[in-house]
Amino acid sequence: MDVDFIDDARFLAIRTSGIVTDKDSVPQIIDSDTVVFGGFKIKISAAIYESAKAAEVVDGWKMLQNEMPMDELFQPYFLETIREWKTPGFEYATEPIILELLRFCYWYYRCSQVDRSTFDTKKARIVSEMSADLGNISQYKVSLHYGKRFEVKGGKPYDDEFEKFYIKLPTGLWSVIAEVKFPVLASEAGLRVSFHKKHDFLIDDLPCEVKAINDEPRGPEHDEQDITSEIKSFIERNKVAGDIDNGIGQGGRIIFVDATRSTTGRFLNEKTSAENPEFAFEKTIATAVNNARKGGSFTPVVISASAIDCRSDGGKCNYKTVTFLRSVQVKKENKDKFKVHIADV
């Protein structure tokens, strides 16, 4: 498929030579909608968010660099991109995984603008959550691979322990991205958002908790069914029900579930149009807030999935997000099993 959100010519040259420069490891602005990063020229509005600007991504990188070693975070993601992007066996990789770092930067920057008086609370939480992964990166001395001929180029496998760690590495980042994305979307919807050390964020006085579901992030599709049945099956999955129950136990009055990197998320993006107002975040969150204020035994659960959509307009790509609302009651039957009740739509 021909797509217009990315140009990988320099990246492919880097992979051939095995040499990456310091400049390649930091996002560089080309114009208001384009950055170069890791050899990729990336259209920000198509790959990150429809209203995103290149300067916001770079500003986010600079802010994060003050809090954590972003160059060390770059290294394993770039190595995995070297291994995956346009290589046999990874045909399902529709975007380079290195894009996740730019999404992290963008949403972190935007989150910092939501409520500056309480953002330090959120910042401390994000830095704490990222510290474990960064510690593991240092421990496995990924930096020894950086600036040298990459072992993956010659087919040499990663150290077994590092391989096990790396498989889990994106999961932590995806969860953090969800934590900084949903407050921004709620703020864009005109709601008053702030941060609190006990919760992921507040909408007015309503505590909100965020969960990210990551399963088979880029594997083959599952059997098709209708959207209502798909969402029901998704919520009833023990992992998802457990995360929702955990969020409610943490005091969440509204639970946000990022399903982007799940089989259900891919299904929802394929079967829906972002142009349909029924799937707009603004409508969904307004209803969720109203339902939360009414109280009761059912908790509003906002399920969201995003994707780069290149299926129409002759290969022109757009960033889309679709959102769904369900009112859910979760009961724990035993330590490993949950019973879910979903209110009628």
> Do the Cβ atoms of 79 and 144 come closer than 8 Å?
no
Mean of the per-residue pLDDT values of the chain: 86
In a domain, 183, yes or no: no
Interatomic CA distance for residues 117 and 258, integer angstroms: 26
Is 164 within a domain?
no
pLDDT > 50? residue 337: yes
Whether the CB-CB separation of 298 and 309 falls below 8 Å is answered with no
Better-scored residue on pLDDT, 183 or 318: 183
- Whether 166 is in a domain gets the answer no
Give the confidence band of 155 by pLDDT, cuts at 50, 70, 90. very low
pLDDT in tens, 27-47: 999 999 999 999 999 999 999
- Its domain, for residue 256, covers 205-345
Q: Does any domain span residue 21?
A: no
Q: Round to whole Å and give the CA distance between 165 and 320.
A: 31
In contact, 27 and 61? CB cutoff 8 Å: yes
Segment 249-283, tens digit of pLDDT: 999 999 999 999 998 998 998 888 767 778 899 99
Task: Place 72 in a pLDDT band, splitting at 50, 70 and 90.
Answer: confident
CB 178 within 8 A of CB 126: no
Q: Specify if 147 maps to a domain.
A: no
Stated as kind and residue range, the H or E segment containing 42 is strand 40-43
pLDDT at 163: 63
- Residue 123 located in a structural domain: no
CA distance 170 to 193: 27
25 vs 309, residue with greater confidence: 25
Q: What is the pTM of this model?
A: 0.89
Domain count, the chain: 1
